[in-house]
């Protein structure tokens, strides 16, 4: 099928016309992280059946697909158009033509959010503390509070001594109730810089009286200084009681008023949703356990700290409307006041908690692909098959998390490399595909069926369901493991996940991050506005 093409110059004009647009880079995560358009979000062809309807919910959205040579973009368009996407174009000549016309390409991920963090520190002079000074506080017994603003999974991977986990948007909700006085300093850290800066400045913006510091260069800076770290910790700041919630709401209301955060009712939300010409993202910004216990029907889970840190992972359509949901107008207000300074049209929903009636995740929005409905097996059924040596498991999820905790003896392949990876198996062998949550693996099973494999299925709920059933996982340290059937170029690997040269990788990363603001500022369609 021949699809519309758009030139680099025309795309640059579209980015400035104020209309909704999604630029989707359809390559795997590795190539994307090495070089891409700043405004392009990563929607890999290997994951498009699940990601596209979530990231691009309105089927009449203007979409531009890009890759290196148009081939993968054509394949993606062949999937999107029959599924009702009406306005799909391909960047003529791919990202190389974009660069040849004098436009910039960027490396890394979450770049817009990270550049914004650097601007916040520059404009507001967010106080920071060096690793050496913080270590001196540790060794001399100085009293201070230490909070890690990353999600619990990252915190468990590596953390600082004394640090308690408190993911970004939870800081203003959970910390005030833990403070014994107004004098004890608070230190906020993350892996690198952005969430440390945004977290520390969130507490300052909310009017917390204690001295607040961002740990300069986060956990990476701490590692470079050769100070000790912890692994496997699960110490998370507790949910506040009634008095603590009241304190947090008082801080959030101060932010709401100072930054003029727009608050809407459910009736207003429904009116917005009736407008078919506008994309609306309805994000629940609480933690995962709260979301799973009950949420507003139709809302998507997007923890507030991560939404600010990696906005393009949740909202792919530029100039869309973002509506945020929580219990107490705390996490939502704190998230909203940052997003609006990043240039998003954003508001928070009040009165939502009375309607947190949905507990199941909606899977009906996945794209319809011929032969995609494959047989699924439960974790218990898979365990029996493995014990009886009656199947082979092929993991097509993120390679980093496969390395960190795979189903024992499971194979790994990028979905885009299955043609080669499956050559070692007989066509009559029983193959069970899995990934992190089970969403993508059904489509990989369909790929195998189309290749001629007869007995294929996928693990319902993926590796998460396997772990929750109490079954063991194993960690591997080398991609040379004979169970790894393809390259692992599906994602960007953080410096601490490298096999060698970790210190050099960390220094390169921090140099890259602190240097983002200058090139990003040349992308004139961005509208950052930090309020003092």
Q: What is the pLDDT of residues 406-465, one digit of tens each?
A: 999 999 999 999 999 999 999 999 999 999 998 889 999 999 999 999 999 999 999 999
**Helix, strand or coil for residue 392?**
strand
Within 13 Å, how many C-alpha atoms sit on residue 77's CB side? 23
Alpha-helical segments (H) within 259-321: 266-273, 288-293, 304-309
Does residue 483 register a pLDDT over 70?
A: yes
| DSSP 8-state assignment for residue 394 | E
pLDDT digits (tens, 9 = 90+) for 243-282: 999 999 999 999 999 999 999 999 999 999 999 999 999 9
Least-confidence region, from 36-40, 74-78, 357-361, 458-462: 357-361
Which residues have a Cβ under 8 Å from the Cβ of 178 and sit 6 or more positions away? 145, 237
pLDDT digits (tens, 9 = 90+) for 308-321: 999 999 999 999 99
Residue 204: band (very low, low, confident or very high) from pLDDT cuts 50, 70, 90 = very high
Does residue 365 register a pLDDT over 90?
A: no
What is residue 494's predicted lDDT score, i.e. its pLDDT? 81
Bridge partners, 228 (sequence order): none
Rounded distance between C-alpha atoms, residue 22 and residue 61, angstroms: 7
Give the CATH class of 254-355. Answer: alpha beta
| DSSP 8-state assignment for residue 474 | B
Rounded distance between C-alpha atoms, residue 442 and residue 213, angstroms: 46
The pTM assigned to this predicted structure is 0.94
What average pLDDT does the segment 331-348 reach? 98
Least-confidence region, from 103-112, 158-167, 366-375, 491-500: 366-375
Structure tokens at 108: 């890394």
What is residue 361's predicted lDDT score, i.e. its pLDDT? 64
Give the count of beta carbons closer than 10 Å to the beta carbon of residue 492.
17
Same fold, 4-107 and 375-488: yes
Rounded distance between C-alpha atoms, residue 503 and residue 496, angstroms: 8
Q: Which H helix or E strand runs over 62?
A: strand 62-66
- Supply the mean pLDDT for the chain: 94
The structural domains of the chain, with segments of one domain joined by +, span 4-107, 114-253, 254-355, 375-488
What is residue 495's predicted lDDT score, i.e. its pLDDT? 82
Rounded distance between C-alpha atoms, residue 346 and residue 335, angstroms: 9
**Helix, strand or coil for residue 263?**
strand
What average pLDDT does the segment 328-346 reach? 98
Does residue 512 register a pLDDT over 70?
A: yes
Does residue 92 register a pLDDT over 60?
A: yes
Give the CATH class of 375-488. Answer: alpha beta
Residue 383: band (very low, low, confident or very high) from pLDDT cuts 50, 70, 90 = very high
Rounded distance between C-alpha atoms, residue 440 and residue 434, angstroms: 8
Structure tokens at 461: 């709920």
What is residue 408's predicted lDDT score, i.e. its pLDDT? 95
What is residue 30's predicted lDDT score, i.e. its pLDDT? 95
Least-confidence region, from 75-79, 358-362, 409-413, 459-463: 358-362
Does residue 185 register a pLDDT over 60?
A: yes
What is residue 366's predicted lDDT score, i.e. its pLDDT? 76
What average pLDDT does the segment 116-140 reach? 97
What is residue 371's predicted lDDT score, i.e. its pLDDT? 52
Query: CATH fold of 114-253, please?
Result: Oxidized Rhodanese; domain 1 (3.40.250)
Does residue 369 register a pLDDT over 70?
A: no
Query: CATH fold of 4-107, please?
Result: Oxidized Rhodanese; domain 1 (3.40.250)
Does residue 15 register a pLDDT over 60?
A: yes
What is residue 364's predicted lDDT score, i.e. its pLDDT? 53
Does residue 288 register a pLDDT over 70?
A: yes
């Amino acid at each position: 099928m021949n699809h519309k093409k758009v030139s680099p110059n025309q795309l640059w004009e579209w980015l400035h016309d104020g209309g909704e647009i999604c630029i989707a880079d359809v390559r795997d995560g590795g190539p994307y992280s090495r070089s891409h358009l700043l405004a392009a979000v990563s929607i890999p062809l290997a994951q498009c059946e699940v990601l596209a309807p979530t990231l691009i919910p309105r089927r009449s959205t203007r979409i531009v697909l890009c890759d290196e040579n148009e081939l993968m973009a054509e394949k993606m368009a062949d999937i999107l158009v029959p599924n009702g996407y009406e306005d799909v174009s391909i960047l003529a000549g791919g990202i190389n033509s974009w660069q040849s016309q004098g436009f910039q390409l960027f490396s890394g991920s979450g770049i817009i959010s990270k550049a914004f963090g650097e601007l916040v520190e520059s404009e507001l002079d967010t106080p920071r503390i060096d690793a050496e000074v913080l270590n001196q506080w540790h060794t001399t017994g100085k009293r201070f509070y230490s909070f890690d603003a990353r999600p619990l999974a990252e915190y468990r991977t590596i953390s600082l001594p004394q640090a308690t986990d408190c993911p970004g948007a939870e800081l203003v909700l959970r910390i005030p109730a833990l403070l014994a006085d107004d004098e004890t300093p608070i230190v906020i850290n993350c892996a690198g810089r952005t969430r440390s800066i945004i977290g520390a400045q969130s507490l300052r913006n909310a009017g917390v009286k204690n001295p607040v510091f961002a740990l300069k260069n986060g956990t990476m800076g701490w590692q470079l200084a050769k100070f000790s770290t912890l692994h496997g910790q699960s110490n998370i700041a507790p949910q506040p009681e009634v008095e603590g919630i009241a304190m947090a709401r008082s801080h959030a209301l101060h932010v709401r008023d100072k930054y003029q955060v727009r608050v809407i009712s459910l009736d207003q939300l429904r009116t917005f949703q009736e407008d078919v010409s506008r994309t609306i993202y309805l994000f629940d910004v609480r933690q995962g356990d709260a979301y799973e216990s009950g949420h507003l029907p139709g809302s998507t889970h997007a923890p507030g700290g991560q939404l600010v840190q990696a906005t393009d992972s949740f909202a792919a359509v530029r100039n869309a409307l973002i509506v945020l949901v929580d219990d107490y107008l705390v996490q939502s207000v704190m998230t909203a006041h940052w997003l609006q300074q990043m240039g998003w049209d954003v508001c928070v929903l009040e009165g939502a908690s009375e309607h947190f009636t949905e507990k199941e995740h909606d899977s009906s929005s996945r794209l319809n692909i011929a032969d995609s409905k494959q047989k699924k097996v439960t974790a218990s059924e898979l365990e029996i098959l493995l014990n009886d040596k009656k199947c082979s498991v092929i993991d097509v999820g993120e390679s980093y998390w496969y390395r960190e905790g795979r189903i024992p003896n499971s194979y790994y392949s990028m979905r885009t490399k299955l043609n080669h990876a499956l050559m070692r198996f007989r066509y009559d062998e029983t193959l069970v595909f899995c990934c992190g949550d089970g969403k993508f693996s059904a489509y990989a099973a369909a790929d195998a069926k189309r290749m001629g494999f007869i007995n294929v299925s996928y693990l319902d709920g993926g590796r998460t369901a396997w772990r929750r059933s109490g079954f063991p996982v194993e960690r591997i340290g080398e991609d040379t493991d004979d169970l790894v059937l393809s390259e692992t170029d599906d994602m960007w690997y953080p410096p601490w996940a490298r096999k060698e040269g970790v210190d050099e990788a960390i220094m390169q990363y921090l140099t890259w991050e602190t240097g983002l603001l200058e090139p990003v500022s040349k992308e004139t369609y961005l509208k950052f506005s930090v309020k003092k």
